[in-house]
Structure 1
Amino acid sequence: MAGARPARSDEPPPARKRRPQRFAVSTYSFWQFRHENLRDVETCIDLAAEMGFDGIEILHRQMTDESNGYLQRLKRRAFVNALDLCGFSTHQGFLRPDIEYRQRNVEHTIHCIELCYQLGIPTMRVNTGTWGTSRNFDDLMKNRGIEPPIDGYTDEEGFEWVIDGLEKCLKAAERCGVVLGLENHWGLGRTPEGVMRVVDAIDSPWLQVTMDTGNFLEDPYERLEILAPKTVLVQAKTYYGGGLWYTLDLDYPRIAKMLAGHNYHGYVSLEFEGQDDPRTAIPKSLSMLREAFAAAD
């Protein structure tokens, strides 16, 4: 074309611009185990779209139906709202000496992987579970997530049980195309070293990391960075109105810059865990996150 300057082979290629960060919201952000009028997952999908999110992450315990018809309605609801079903958060536990207990949790995890397949969801949050030596979750939070092993057992044995249990789920994960993300979610995942010990021991592309920005109560930034290279989904906590159990003043521009430095391109999924009305606090959280991550581009 006339006037066009031919490219010179000795010129460096133009720098690739980072894609705009995509944001999702967990259905937990609406329900929080306490807002029954916001439990319905289809309602959460509609609200997420109205608020401007790109995707939605479903909390398994929030679902009231697992029939195929219901799952396909969720897929359709997300599609017509132009939302990705981008994550599935599940609960399982492997920190028990009872072999049958651990096997039931393997079977539960595989069942959830198959739900992901039916929903077309590409990644699923998994946990180590907790020792269960706290009276309840409130008690666990009062102790800042720290609890002793069951009498007569050790964390070392616990790591063996967790690794064995998750390894038994990998064939299903690969068959269904669902990447498991081990979250820093109490138990042996309370520290980044604990999470990475399990992930590195299993050493599979089908087990990576789900990073929760709000589950390291001390020195969060250095700990989050340890997880960043293997992270496939980020769950971003906010606490407007004060946290349900605790409040962290997280520096999201710093977190965004750190993730950019590790070339993270995945979803950032909001987990609102404050006491304000979710209908107002969730849009406020999205605005804050957009501003923080835009500054890191």
Structure 2
Amino acid sequence: MFTDRRRFLAASATLVAGTSGRAGAAEGPKTRPTHIGVSTYSFWQFKNDKLRDVETCIDLAGEMGFDAVEILHRQMTDESAAGMQKIKRRAFLNGMGLCGFSIHQGFVYKDKDERQKNIDHTIKCLEMCYAMGIPTMRVNTGRWGTIKSFDDLMKNRGVEPNLPGFTDEDGFKWVTDALTACLRTAEKCGVVMGLENHWGLGRTPEGVLKIVDAVDSPWLRVTMDTGNFLEDPYDNLEKLAPKTVLVQAKTYFGGGLWYSLDLDNDRIARMLRKHKYAGFVSLEFEGKEDPRTGVPKSLEALRKAFAV
């Protein structure tokens, strides 16, 4: 009996080993599909009042087939504890996660009190992420503010003069010191801040990485926006890829609200795979087409580009 049992086990082991070897050779390493989320901004765009309600946006995202939702802080009308839990509950009921939180703040101010005000705001938003179970938060450098209108800034392709008497190095120090002051809360809340390539001192990959490298913390990485480099987008995006924790993918069906870029999402997807990016891709629809049709078209385009 014992001899038969030993023969059976030996034969089984040989069969399993042979099968495993053939499967490994045939299939190679497994690649997980890319999860596609959508920013609530894609629906509201600061102008579609009927689509401002965050819970409505979450329902639409679920119906359209997204995997997750990124919340735009300025879109929220209820920041109470109960209001935040309603958002988390709504995403859960739609079978989706909350993949990001985008806030508006900046630290390029000569006034120390104004910088502290923005530090306090950033810390408050990190705690909101914790309450909603959101793992990463988009932050900005801020900008000089010498061009008051955002429309005019876009006409000038995101470039503005410095405040008189101050240099970029002054601005970089303000931003670095401010984000460093937020690290303790980020770590306590388990929220990775992602510095976005978003005008101001973050208008170039070199500017973004100068700050991230100076802060030198796992709690500050990069949020990559595919539509915020108006020149040489692919080379610039690739410089950010190794430190990216969230990708915001722009689309422009119906023409762009401020400008349109003819982005090659297939190329961007290949580049991200090369750098082993495994995080979420979050749609930021910035076209003039009705979001009810432009957003689903965008999802289809991103699914195709990021298909394994």
What TM-score, normalized by structure 2, do the two folds share?
0.93
User: Which residue does the alignment assign to 2:78?
Assistant: 65
Counterpart-to-counterpart distance in 2, 1:131 and 1:71: 32
SS in 2 for 1:235: strand
Counterpart-to-counterpart distance in 1, 2:21 and 2:223: 41
Q: Which of 47, 57, 60 is the aligned partner of 1:44?
A: 57
Are 1:203 and 2:206 an aligned pair? no
Q: Which of 104, 107, 112 is the aligned partner of 1:91?
A: 104
Q: CA RMSD in A?
A: 1.6
User: Which residue does the alignment assign to 1:35?
Assistant: 48
Counterpart-to-counterpart distance in 2, 1:116 and 1:5: 46
Q: Tell me how far 1:293 sits from its aligned partner.
A: 1.0
User: Which residue does the alignment assign to 1:265?
Assistant: 278
Range with bigger deviation, 228-237 or 148-157: 148-157
Counterpart-to-counterpart distance in 1, 2:122 and 2:149: 22
User: Which residue does the alignment assign to 1:6?
Assistant: 17
Are 1:102 and 2:98 an aligned pair? no
Q: Tell me how far 1:11 sits from its aligned partner.
A: 8.8
The within-5 A match list for 1:275-290 is 275-290=288-303
Q: Tell me how far 1:5 sits from its aligned partner.
A: 4.7
Q: Tell me how far 1:2 sits from its aligned partner.
A: 8.8
The within-5 A match list for 1:117-132 is 117-132=130-145
User: Which residue does the alignment assign to 1:16?
Assistant: 29
Counterpart-to-counterpart distance in 1, 2:138 and 2:45: 17
Task: Provide, for residues 113-169 of structure 1, a one-character-per-residue CA deviation record: whole Å limited to 9, x for no partner.
Answer: 000000000000000001100021001101000001111111110000000000000
Q: Which of 130, 145, 149 is the aligned partner of 2:162?
A: 149
Q: Which of 240, 249, 258 is the aligned partner of 1:245?
A: 258
Q: Aligned pair count?
A: 295
Which of these two proteins has the greater Rg computed from alpha carbons? 2
User: Which residue does the alignment assign to 1:274?
Assistant: 287
For structure 1, the 5+ residue unaligned runs are none
What is the one-letter code of the residue matched to 1:274?
G
SS in 2 for 1:24: strand
What is the one-letter code of the residue matched to 1:286?
L
Q: Tell me how far 1:88 sits from its aligned partner.
A: 0.1
Counterpart-to-counterpart distance in 1, 2:174 and 2:22: 55
Counterpart-to-counterpart distance in 1, 2:301 and 2:20: 43
Identical aligned residues as a percent: 67
Q: Tell me how far 1:7 sits from its aligned partner.
A: 4.5
Task: Provide, for residues 198-257 of structure 1, a one-character-per-residue CA deviation record: whole Å limited to 9, x for no partner.
Answer: 001111000000000000000000000000000000000000000000000000000000
Counterpart-to-counterpart distance in 2, 1:247 and 1:285: 14
Counterpart-to-counterpart distance in 1, 2:14 and 2:221: 50
For structure 2, the 5+ residue unaligned runs are 1-11
User: Which residue does the alignment assign to 1:76?
Assistant: 89
Q: Tell me how far 1:262 sits from its aligned partner.
A: 0.3
Counterpart-to-counterpart distance in 1, 2:259 and 2:139: 22
Counterpart-to-counterpart distance in 1, 2:62 and 2:189: 27
Range with bigger deviation, 15-24 or 1-10: 1-10
Q: Tell me how far 1:44 sits from its aligned partner.
A: 0.2
Task: Provide, for residues 168-193 of structure 1, a one-character-per-residue CA deviation record: whole Å limited to 9, x for no partner.
Answer: 00000000000000000000000000
Change (3 A) 1:71 1:10: closer
Are 1:166 and 2:166 an aligned pair? no
What TM-score, normalized by structure 1, do the two folds share?
0.97
What is the one-letter code of the residue matched to 1:118?
A
SS in 2 for 1:4: helix
Task: Provide, for residues 69-118 of structure 1, a one-character-per-residue CA deviation record: whole Å limited to 9, x for no partner.
Answer: 11111111110100101100001111111000000000000000000000
SS in 1 for 2:306: helix
Q: Tell me how far 1:6 sits from its aligned partner.
A: 2.4
SS in 2 for 1:96: coil
SS in 2 for 1:198: helix
SS in 1 for 2:88: helix
Counterpart-to-counterpart distance in 1, 2:235 and 2:20: 41
Task: Provide, for residues 252-287 of structure 1, a one-character-per-residue CA deviation record: whole Å limited to 9, x for no partner.
Answer: 000000000000000000000000000000000000
SS in 2 for 1:128: coil
